[in-house]
Amino acid sequence: VKIARPLKIAVDCGNGVPGAFAPELYRRLGCAVRELFCDVDGRFPNHHPDPSQLENLEDLIRTLRSGNEELGLAFDGDGDRLGVVTRAGKVIFPDRQLMLFAADVLSRNQGAKIIFDVKSTRNLFPWIRTHGGEPVLWKTGHSLIKAKMKESGALLAGEMSGHMFFKERWYGFDDGLYAGARLLEYLSGKPDIDAELARLPDSVNTPELQIKLKEGENYALIDTLQRTARFEGAREIVTIDGLRVEYDDGFGLARASNTTPVIVLRFEADSEPALKRIQEDFRRVLKAARPDAVLPF
């Protein structure tokens, strides 16, 4: 990995293990690094090292808005997930990070398969095709993604949780520090990082939402929905992992978490009215299947 020009970056390790390595790695690449919470401390005295939660990025956002760094990187406690923040303090969520990585990988590997999980933006489909690749939607879960990469021969995969898997020029496992290096390599070759990030397609969307249930009830509810739910105006219903319901102007997702007894929900649309309509469609089928469910939307 080589960067085309020196970059000024801020790195927030949240007192996790990456603090022992990330600043030195990026300095060796040629970056000027401003460190936030890079002393390893398992008590996590500043914030939890989980870049998927917005409250854990607030310090990095403030630093970028007040300083002259061009980009911010954040890591989870063991360094296998990456968070990205722009100079203006806007979070680039992992599904949009994957767009940048896909553009880079496909510039050298036309026709390559790119895998993303069911929680990811629908904008990845046209983006990957436009750049000459084959989009592959798959189940959430890093072990499931890695198995699908091996089966399909995909060169790149990503999850909404922040796990990025590079097979091209790497070994196919999730490494947040390496993903950060690849991002810096790609962006250092662009004349204007802010403009490059601003051109990524965006949408009206929700963060990950959850319905809390008792142990095992999440799988039973998804099974009921897959058997009985009818969605008005749906173009396609994907059932590889729960239900991802595709509409002409958005999608809704309900899936059982692999690790906790919750239903995971996410919604995306081209406009606020479309988002509300899709949510109402899901509200109707969820309440029909589980009248006592406490919905987070």
Could you give the angle at which helices 22-29 and 176-188 cross, rounded to 10 degrees?
Answer: 30
Q: Which residues share a beta bridge with 263? A: 211, 256
* Angstrom distance (rounded) from CA 266 to CA 94: 14
Residue 273, pLDDT score = 98
Q: What is the pLDDT of residue 114?
A: 99
Q: How far is CA 254 from CA 51, 144, 237, 245, in A?
A: 23, 18, 11, 9
Q: Catalogue all structural domains in the chain, each as residue range(s) with its CATH number.
A: 8-92 (3.40.120.10), 94-198 (3.40.120.10), 204-289 (3.30.310.50)
**Alpha-carbon dihedral angle through residues 169, 114, 127, 101, given to the nearest 10 degrees:** -30
Average pLDDT per consecutive 10 residues, the chain (297 residues; last block may be shorter): 97 98 98 98 97 96 96 98 96 97 98 98 98 99 96 98 97 96 98 95 95 96 96 95 98 96 98 98 96 93
The predicted pLDDT at position 83 comes to 97
Candidates 202, 165, 12, 184; CA nearest to 90 is: 202
CA distance 263 to 246: 18
Which helix H or strand E contains 243, and what residues bound it?
A: strand 243-247
| pLDDT for position 188 | 98
Strands 243-247 and 8-12 come out as unpaired
The long-range contacts involving 17-21, CB below 8 angstroms and separated by at least 24 positions, are 17/77, 17/78, 17/79, 18/75, 18/78, 18/79, 18/176, 18/177, 21/79, 21/177
Residue 267 is predicted with a pLDDT of 98
Give residue 232's pLDDT. 85
The first and second tokens of residue 8, run together, are: 């000024």
> What is the structure's pLDDT at 208?
92
pTM (2 d.p.): 0.95
